């Protein structure tokens, strides 16, 4: 009786149908996801092209996104390896095949090339790592080579159990014979491998219940060698002469089929047996790789290690603590929190940037819990918001084992070298390395400085050129001849459209249109754009520019701001994408024309260049805390002139990475009346995000100051009232905390008060603050010792925040954007500051009328006010009453998306004190270590 034919075509069709359903299931899980396969070919061999076309066709049928990457015959080994590395780093590719043989005119080490494929993408199963795992029986943690895997599938189709059977494999190649031996062995067969040196090959074959042949010799195995009823799998593909065929040859296997089928119980034909299964199993491995990828990269499923602190008493200096902790390599931290290798750009070993395309990958993922840290009205020393933010995330992560990200601002170098020092947190709650954090980081602030000053240069250059040229000459230079013709740039087309000129041919403009296009006619007195510098330099607060004779008498008064006060910094913090940033940069208003029209960077023709300068700065920076929890450091807008919050992009990415049970803790600059109010009314409007909890940081010393305590001066010892118990003074000062709790409640969000404890605080003082906070409506109030104890000292705060996230929340904005400008300012002044009313001084009243006319009246309000008092007077502590808030002027940050009223006099570039911090800063030339920074 003839053997039953095992059709590879039928079995492979079943496999492909199963794989199609698997791919559809993955798409249900993530509609944007598709398994990705790359077939890398060197040269142009006809047989390779045939095999690749079969693979590409099968991939398309199943739903795999397959790419044929063809390198020329001239490709060198290095070029092939480079291509492999690029595919290894591409997270959208789950399988990589190197089509063999490599058809190059250069010598290429095939072993080196195949082993360069990442093991997790080696769907051919040819790397030494996958082969080693297979040989040791780790079948669930490797890829099985496709031909042996297909053979096993064909054997399973017979219904014959492999366990306990005698199996013979003829051939010991790395592609078929050796892995086939391992597969049969780990399926509990007794396996003999035969090869060219085997004595009595026919005798060995005759013992086989299962025979797999892959020796590469046409019809070598004869029927009378085969045991009656055996399963015969023929992997051979050989060509022998056959004059009856048009080609003069036909394909046969390694087994003499006609005689073997009379002996065997089951047998595979050639062709139509193992061949189709090889392709099918390649697809199966690709789908398996994609499944593993999805399972291993589910947002919120972290595999993170934490760093154990070695707490010292007394607490050493910040820099000593920072250096006592060795940071994890940043690429390792990135992997731990679910970032893929091609989503991360390393900047050394301790910091990295995250690519924005991660947003698309995570777009269907639910957000985590969103927490904003703010504070009571602070002393000039600050009350530890940054330290509390870091302590809280260390508690939630390292001690409560929850996924958590901190999102904080990048500090300006002005205060770092001035009087304040760094802003990386403090004690055992820090971002590390703190030198990296405070000095340059990845150059974002320098990019903003360059972009900002390019705009400033463009403004004055344009005024100069317009004043020295006729309309025609100006137009001819703006649209110069190139190859005997003039052509508008894309940015000039945008200006034409804005002017309502629907023409693209420069020669078609009328004289009147040429004048309107070429002349911005900037009113020099209306220029609101200043140059910037990330240094405290008081002598740049008012300068005169244009003193050189080459400027032909064009001089004007100007000034510098500190870089973090630049509108471009505010744009960076509030943007949601590269395209959105491009639009915001284009909308920035820098001046007004003599006819009252707003002049934008798009009008100046510089907005595209600004986007180029900012293309890397838009990517959030990844760092870590002392205890190994992740931190995004991104943007640092001035909390007076701008909104004082880190970037929307960092928050959004972090919220998706932590998963629905995780936490993102961000910090709002200055007290709740400034940073928190702007966080809600500006940042939350543009982000669409809704916070779950407000953490309000309070300290004994600040509340005593609000109770009438003496002046606190940075760099001077604290008066005795602040280091000795004084419950009466403290209780009186708690009025400020009550007001800030009330301010948070205006937005409908639960408040947890974090009492940042200092060593001089007494038990009675800490208890009093907690009791009064709860009485004022706080969800909870807890003591925190994170400065001295790290995350362990903020576990109570973490638990309170976790509970508060489950409490009812009814978030709402403070005002409607459609209200008149003055009404929006009045609502903030009355509800948040406690003012009786506002007073619009003449400049402010003029700006209200101008901005309303120009169409900017519906923008949110970003108050520029002292952070040292709820009122406009820094020395008025507690909760001032009965005051009128004077609005000196109003300015527009149209690109960022807000108007900022100026309350009193606001310096926009700080000055250096008599003894700046830079006296202590130096570099050790032996160790390359920065000393004296903290």
Dihedrals phi, psi of 519, to nearest 5 degrees: -100, 115
- 241/701 Cα distance (integer angstroms): 98
**Mean pLDDT of the chain, nearest integer:** 93
What would the two tokens of residue 803 be?
A: 């509970």
Q: Phi, psi (5° rounding) for residue 731?
A: -60, -40
- Average pLDDT of the segment spanning 908-918: 75
Give the pLDDT confidence score for residue 817 in this predicted structure: 97
Whether residue 421 has pLDDT greater than 60: no
Which domains occur in the chain, in start order? 4-293 (3.40.50.720), 318-438+616-806 (3.40.50.300), 445-613 (3.30.1510.10), 821-902 (3.10.410.10)
> Catalytic residue at 759?
no
Q: How confident is the model at residue 423 (pLDDT cuts 50, 70, 90)?
A: low
Nearest to 234 by CA among 272, 202, 183: 272
Residue with tokens 């090339």: 113
Q: Which of residues 168 and 918 earns the better pLDDT score? A: 168
- Judge whether residue 14 has pLDDT over 70: yes
For residues 418-426, give the mean pLDDT.
67
Euclidean distance between CA atoms 130 and 367, whole angstroms: 37
Nearest to 869 by CA among 720, 761, 745, 740: 740
Specify the pLDDT at position 934: 63
Rounded CA-CA distance 67/88 in Å is: 14
Our measurement of the distance from residue 574's CA atom to the centroid of its chain's CA atoms, rounded to an integer in Å, reads: 15
Name the 3-class secondary structure at 38.
strand
Query: Closest by alpha carbon to 783, among 917, 334, 795, 906?
Result: 795
Distance of CA 57 to the CA centre of its chain: 36
For 792-805, give the DSSP string.
GGGHHHHHHHHHHH
Per-residue pLDDT for 932 more than 80?
Answer: no
C-alpha 704/C-alpha 621 separation (Å) is 38
The H or E element containing residue 608 is helix 607-613
| Cα three-residue angle 567-573-579, rounded to 5 degrees | 90
Question: Per-residue pLDDT averaged across 810-823, rounded?
Answer: 97
Average pLDDT over residues 501-527: 95
Sign of torsion, CA 541 556 526 576? negative
Out of 20, 21, 27, 55, pick the active-site residue.
Answer: 55
DSSP-derived secondary structure letter, 435: H
In SS3 terms, 107-166 reads as: CCCHHHHHHHCCHHHCCCCCCHHHHHHHHCCCHHHCCCCHHHHHHHHHHHHHCCCCCCCE
- Cα distance between residue 730 and residue 264, in whole Å: 96
How do beta strands 344-346 and 352-354 pair? Answer: antiparallel
pLDDT digits (tens, 9 = 90+) for 851-881: 999 999 999 999 999 999 999 999 999 999 9
- Which percentage of the chain shows pLDDT scores above 90? 83
Q: Which residues contact 314 (CB under 8 A, 6 or more apart)?
A: none
| Residue pLDDT, tens place only, 738-758 | 999 999 999 999 999 999 999
The pLDDT, as a whole number, for residue 550 is: 93
Where does residue 348 fall: left (phi above 0), alpha (psi -120 to 50 degrees), or beta otherwise? left
pLDDT score recorded for residue 537: 87
**921: which 2 tokens?**
């800063």
The set of residues, in sequence order, having a beta carbon less than 8 Å from that of 143 and lying 6+ positions away, is: 119, 122, 123, 124, 125, 130, 285, 288, 289
Q: How far apart are CA 904 and CA 890, in angstroms?
A: 11
Predicted confidence (pLDDT) at residue 933 exceeds the cutoff of 70 = no
Which tens digits make up the pLDDT trace of 36-95?
A: 999 999 999 988 999 899 999 999 999 999 999 999 999 999 999 999 999 998 989 999
Q: Can you tell me the mean pLDDT for 446-468?
A: 96
734 vs 499: CA distance, rounded Å: 57
pLDDT at residue 296, rounded to an integer = 82
What three-state secondary structure class fits 267? strand
Q: Tell how strand 36-42 and strand 344-346 pair up.
A: unpaired
Q: At CA 845, angle to CA 839 and CA 846, rounded to 5?
A: 160
Q: If you search the block for the tokens 């703010």, which residue do you land on?
A: 374
Residue with tokens 């629905």: 660
Cα 934 to Cα 920: distance, rounded to the nearest angstrom: 9
Burial class (CB in 10 A: 0-12, 13-18, 19+), 142: buried
Cα–Cα distance measured from residue 40 to residue 695, given in angstroms and rounded to the nearest whole number: 54
Length of the chain in residues, anyone? 934
pLDDT in tens, 649-702: 999 999 999 999 999 999 998 899 999 999 999 999 999 999 999 999 999 999
d(Cα 54, Cα 58) in Å, to the nearest integer? 6
Contact present, 535 and 480 (Cβ < 8 Å): no
* Neighbouring-strand partners of residue 5: 267
pLDDT mean over 462-487? 92
pTM, two decimals, is 0.88
How far is Cα of residue 344 from the mean position of the Cα atoms in its chain? 8
The 10s digit of each residue's pLDDT in 571-626 is 999 999 999 999 999 999 999 999 999 999 999 999 999 999 999 999 999 999 99
Peptide linkage before 428 cis (omega within 30 of 0): no
How far, in Å, CA of 219 to CA of 737, rounded?
91
Q: How confident is the model at residue 422 (pLDDT cuts 50, 70, 90)?
A: low
Distances (CA, A) of 421 to 382, 407, 855: 12, 20, 41
């Amino acid at each position: 009786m003839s053997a039953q034919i095992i059709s590879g075509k039928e079995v492979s069709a079943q496999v492909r149908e199963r794989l199609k359903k698997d791919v559809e299931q993955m798409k249900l899980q993530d509609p944007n996801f598709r398994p990705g396969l790359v077939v890398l070919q060197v040269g142009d061999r006809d047989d390779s092209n045939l095999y690749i076309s079969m693979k590409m066709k099968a991939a398309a049928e199943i739903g795999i996104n397959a790419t044929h990457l063809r390198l020329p015959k001239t490709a060198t080994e290095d070029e092939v390896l480079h291509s492999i590395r690029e595919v290894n780093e591409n997270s959208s590719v789950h399988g990589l095949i190197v089509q063999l043989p490599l058809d190059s005119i250069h010598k290429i080490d095939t072993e080196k090339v195949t082993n360069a494929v990442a093991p997790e993408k080696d769907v051919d199963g040819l790397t030494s790592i996958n082969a080693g795992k297979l040989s040791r029986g780790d079948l669930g943690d490797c890829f099985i080579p496709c031909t042996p895997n297909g053979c096993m599938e064909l054997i399973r189709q017979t219904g014959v159990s492999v366990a306990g059977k005698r199996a013979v494999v003829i051939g010991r190649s790395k592609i078929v014979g050796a892995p086939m031996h391992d597969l049969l062995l780990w399926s509990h067969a007794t396996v003999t491998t035969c090869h060219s040196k085997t004595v009595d090959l026919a005798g060995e074959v005759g013992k086989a219940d299962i025979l797999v042949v892959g020796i590469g010799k046409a019809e070598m195995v004869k029927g009378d060698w085969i045991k009656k009823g055996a399963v015969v799998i023929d992997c051979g593909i050989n060509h022998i002469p056959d004059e009856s065929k048009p080609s003069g040859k036909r394909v046969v296997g390694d087994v003499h089929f006609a005689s073997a089928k009379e002996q065997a119980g089951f047998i595979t034909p050639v062709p139509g047996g193992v061949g189709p299964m090889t392709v099918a199993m390649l697809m199966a491995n690709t789908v398996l790789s994609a499944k593993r990828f999805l399972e291993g990269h589910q947002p919120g499923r972290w595999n993170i290690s934490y760093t154990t602190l070695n707490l010292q008493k007394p607490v050493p200096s910040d820099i000593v603590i920072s250096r006592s902790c060795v940071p994890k390599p940043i690429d390792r931290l990135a992997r731990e929190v679910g970032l893929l290798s091609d989503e991360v750009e390393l900047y050394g070993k301790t910091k990295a940037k995250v690519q924005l395309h991660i947003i698309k990958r995570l777009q269907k993922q639910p957000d985590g819990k969103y927490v904003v840290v703010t504070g009571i009205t602070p002393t000039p020393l600050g009350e530890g918001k940054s330290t509390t933010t870091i302590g809280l995330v260390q508690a939630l992560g390292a001690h409560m084992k929850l996924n958590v990200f901190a999102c904080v601002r990048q500090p300006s170098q002005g205060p770092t070298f001035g009087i304040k020092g760094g802003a990386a947190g403090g004690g055992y709650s820090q971002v590390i390395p703190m030198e990296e954090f405070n000095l340059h980081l990845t150059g974002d602030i320098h990019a903003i400085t360059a972009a900002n000053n390019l705009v400033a240069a463009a403004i004055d250059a344009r005024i100069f050129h317009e004043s020295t040229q006729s309309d025609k000459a100006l137009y001819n230079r703006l649209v110069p001849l190139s190859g005997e013709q003039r052509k508008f740039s894309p940015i000039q087309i945008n200006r034409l459209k804005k002017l309502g000129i629907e023409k693209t041919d420069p020669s078609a403009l009328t004289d009147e249109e040429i004048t309107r296009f070429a002349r911005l006619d900037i009113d020099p007195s209306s220029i609101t754009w200043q140059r910037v510098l990330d240094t405290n330099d008081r002598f740049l607060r008012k300068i005169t520019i244009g003193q050189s004779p080459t400027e032909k008498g064009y001089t004007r008064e100007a000034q510098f701001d500190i870089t973090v006060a630049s509108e471009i910094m505010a744009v960076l913090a509030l943007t949601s994408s590269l395209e959105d940033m491009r639009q915001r940069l284009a909308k920035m208003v820098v001046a007004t024309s003599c006819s009252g029209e707003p002049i934008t960077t798009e009008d100046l023709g510089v907005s595209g260049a600004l986007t180029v300068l900012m293309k890397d700065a838009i990517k959030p920076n990844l760092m870590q805390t002392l205890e190994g929890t992740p931190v995004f450091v991104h943007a640092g807008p001035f909390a007076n002139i701008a909104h004082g919050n880190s970037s929307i992009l960092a928050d959004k990415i972090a919220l998706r990475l932590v998963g629905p049970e995780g936490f993102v803790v961000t910090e709002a600059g200055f007290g709740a009346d400034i940073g928190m109010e702007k966080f809600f009314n500006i940042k939350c409007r543009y982000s669409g995000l809704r916070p779950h909890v407000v953490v309000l940081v309070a300290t004994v010393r600040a509340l005593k100051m609000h109770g009438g305590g003496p002046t606190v001066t940075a760099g001077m010892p604290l008066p005795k009232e602040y280091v000795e118990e004084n419950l009466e003074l403290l209780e009186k000062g708690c009025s400020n905390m009550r007001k800030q709790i009330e301010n948070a409640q205006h937005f409908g969000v639960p408040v947890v008060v974090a009492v940042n404890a200092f060593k001089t605080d007494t038990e009675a003082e800490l208890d009093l603050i907690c009791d009064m906070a709860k009485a004022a409506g706080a969800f909870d109030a807890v003591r925190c010792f994170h400065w001295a104890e790290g995350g362990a000292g903020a576990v109570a705060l973490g638990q309170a925040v976790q509970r508060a996230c489950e409490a009812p929340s009814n978030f709402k904005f403070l005002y409607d954007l459609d209200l008149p400008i003055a009404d929006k300012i009045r609502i903030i002044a009355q509800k948040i500051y406690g003012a009786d009313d506002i007073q619009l001084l003449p400049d402010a009243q003029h700006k209200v009328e101008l901005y309303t006319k120009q169409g900017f009246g519906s923008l949110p309000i970003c108050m520029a006010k002292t952070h040292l008092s709820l009122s406009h007077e820094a020395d008025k502590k507690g909760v001032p009453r009965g005051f009128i808030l004077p609005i000196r002027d109003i300015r527009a940050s149209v690109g960022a998306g807000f108007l900022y009223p100026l309350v009193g006099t606001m310096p926009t570039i700080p000055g250096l004190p008599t003894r700046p911090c830079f006296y202590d800063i130096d570099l050790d030339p032996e160790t390359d270590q920065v000393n004296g920074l903290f």
